[in-house]
Each structure stands twice: as C-alpha cells, then as structure tokens.
Amino acid sequence: MRVLFLTAHLPFPPISGGRRREFELITRLGRDCEVHLCSVTKSWQTDNEHIHELSSYCASVDLFEASYADGHKYLRYSNQMRRHVSEGVTLHISALLKKEKFDVVHVEGYYLMQHIPASIDVPLLLVEHNIECLLCLQRFMLASNREEKAYFWQEYVNTLNWEKIFWKRAALCVTLTNEDKTSMTRLEPALNIKTIPDGTDHNKTIKKIGLVSGDTANHLVNAEYPSVLFVGNFAYEPNVDAALYFSKIIFPLILRDVPDARLYLVGNAPPKEIKALTVNKQIEVTGFVNSLVHYYKAASIVICPLRIGGGIKVKILEALNAGKAIVSTSVGAQGLDLKLHRALAVADEPRDFAKKAVQLLRDPNQRHRQEREALAYSKTLPSWEQVSNQFSNCYNEISIHRKAAG
C-alpha cells in the first residue's frame, strides 16, 4: 500500500513521546507499505540533519519549515494550527495527491489537517494523541488570572470547532485510549473511531538506535541517595508545568521525611524556569541525554506529576517496561487498566502524592513489590509490532471500503 504519512516534526531523533511513537510505527510500516513521509517542523535546521536516518524506511522524506501565522486570516485558528502553518507543505501535498496515487493519508494530529485539500479521493486516517480541546479546558481550570482564563477559554472554543470539522473529514479517527474515544464520541457521536494504544518495547529501541552522538553526556544518578526521576520533553508545555508543580509544591513535602532525596529532571530543551530549579542543590536538570537506560536503572522511583494531558504517556510505558516503582497523577495514568493491575500509585493531591512517594523511598520491600507489579503489567501491554499491524489492518479496511463505495 502507498501511504502518505504526515507528522508535526521529523520522527528522529525520538526525543519526545510523539517522535518515538512515529519512529516506531514508520520503521515497521515501511517493511510492508510504501511510506511517503511529509513533516512540518518548528526545528527545521536540526531535523534536516537527520532526514537520512529515515530514508531506509520511507520511499520519500520531505521536510517543511513551519511558520507561526498571526494575521487576520488566522484569527479563529487554534494556537496549534497557527504554529504549524506552512504554505510550502500545503502546496506540496496538493500537487502530490494530484500527481500520485495513494491508498491512505495518515495524519498525526488534527492541526495538520489544514494542509490536506478539502476534497480528495483518498481515505484519511487521523490520529489524535490527545483530545486537544480538553487540554485547553484543563489549562483554563489551572489558569491563575483573568487574562489567562480568557485566553484558554477562547483556545478551547477554537480548538473544539476545528477538531470537530477535521474529525468528520476522516474516514477513521484513531485515539490512544478508550477514555479519549469516549470523549470524542460524546462531542461528535457519528464518528468512526478506533483505539490503538502505543507499544511498550521502547527500551529495546533506545539501545538499538543509539540516538544521536555528540550531545550531552549522561549524568548518572548518584546511587548513594534516594532518587526521584521525571522524564519529559520540555519543549512540551505540560511537561514544564508538571516539573514546576512537583519541584515547588510536592518535592519540599518529600524532603521533610526524606531530607537526602535527589530529584532528576531529564529531557530535551529545558527552558530557563526549569534550569532555575537547580538553585536547590538537590535538583538536577540534565537536558538531552544519549540514553535513558542508566537513569531508569539507578532511580529509586519514577514520577509523572502531569496536570495537563490526554492519551497514553510514553514516559509511563517506558517506566513500566523498566520495572520501576511509579507515582503518577490520574492524568499521567490515563489509558492504563488499573482496576485489574496495581502497576503504579495514583495521587492527585500534593500531600497524597508526597506520602506515596515517601513510602516507596523509605520502604525497600514495598518498592520492590511495586517494581514487580510494574514489570508484570508491562508484559500484558501490546508491543510495537502488534500496534503497527493494527495500523496496517486499518489501512486495508478503509482503502477497501473506499473502493467498494466507489
């Protein structure tokens, strides 16, 4: 099958959950499908250096620079749509679809649908990593002043409007969790929706691809101290919010009972407000690291204090697969079947979160039990091979349906 695969960044290096997900899919789908990758990027110079990493998996790779659109024409666009405007990619896709025959157009995120012609004779598969309008609503609820509330409410309205428009254009919408599928159905009942979660064999991939050379060297966790690990791409605002929230509100509560604890914030592109947290000598901010393997091995516990988010979290899947004791908010634990599996501790109030983290830090037996639960649960989750097979099946189904209808 010939598949046009549209992403909001080049899926290499896989330094974020979204990039890793797309890399895992493309490297497998490329074995049986003719994948033509088209990426709209906000980091064109960096991404352009790594195009060759995907050429062996794709029939073609085209990269276009996104430009933030701020004119009257884009007044009712959501912020995500404005951040991914690119006249070049819009023209390229339009010309490509007229010139070439594709069986499926696979779009990773509603905000990229603006680049697909309004009327095409190819079925669209739209993947929603999150229900973005609901994330806007979460930000609205957390806003600290009237101006922020007004901004995020308008974002909610604009995002909901465009999501519903683009959902209805897709032959099939794919969510990563059943919770998101339920939310979409409530907002737009007639949609054709399928849930396909992310896979779990990430650690094998980290070792296999080696990421990129010449970047920040690993800062190994000091095993002498109880250590708390948070992994996140800090170019993504919800991870910044989570790190600040935990560092300023929850970590001080932990230090009352575990005064020698250390917090490690590990991930790409930490902004100045995250770097400033190192004024506390018990907090380390690493920036990008070549491998997460050593961090997972050395950390006492892993945390996921997200307050904004949807879908399933790659950082949680990695921690489960590494067999770590985890404390997460309910937002971080979305998509996991915790009714049947006690794979992690969930807490939404700061004191409760701190209490559960302290228990795991101070009680090795409880921590080891939690680690065994996490590892056992990870083995019940689908692999990336199974996930890519599900997408192949979806391609076939919507392609056959289109031919039958035609």
| pLDDT tens sequence across 190-199 | 999 999 999 9
Give the other-Cβ count within 10 Å of 381's Cβ.
22
pLDDT value at position 17? 87
- Verify that 230 and 190 share a domain, yes or no: no
In a domain, 124, yes or no: yes
- Look at residue 304 in the predicted model and tell me its pLDDT: 97
**Do residues 62 and 151 share a domain?**
yes
Number of domains making up the chain: 2
Nearest to 265, CA basis, from 296, 232, 297: 232
Same domain? For 234 and 194 the reply is: no
Reference 108, options 2, 196, 221, 224; nearest CA is 196
Nearest partner of 319 among 377, 258, 272, 273, judged by Cα = 377
In-domain check, residue 210: no
358 and 388, same domain (yes or no): no
**Is the pTM higher than 0.75?**
yes
The interaxial angle of helices 17-32 and 384-405, nearest 10 deg, is 60
Can you give the pLDDT at residue 293?
A: 87
CA 327, 235, 294: angle at the middle one, nearest 5? 50
> According to the 3-state scheme, what is the secondary structure of 50-61?
CHHHHCCCCCEE
Q: What is the pLDDT of residue 14?
A: 85
Predicted pLDDT of residue 214 = 34
The ranges of the chain with pLDDT < 50 are 202-203, 205-218
Q: Is residue 368 part of a domain?
A: yes
- My answer on whether 65 and 179 are in the same domain is yes
pLDDT at 190: 95
* Same-domain check for residues 50 and 119: yes
Residues 176 and 236 in one domain: no
Residue 122 lies in a domain: yes
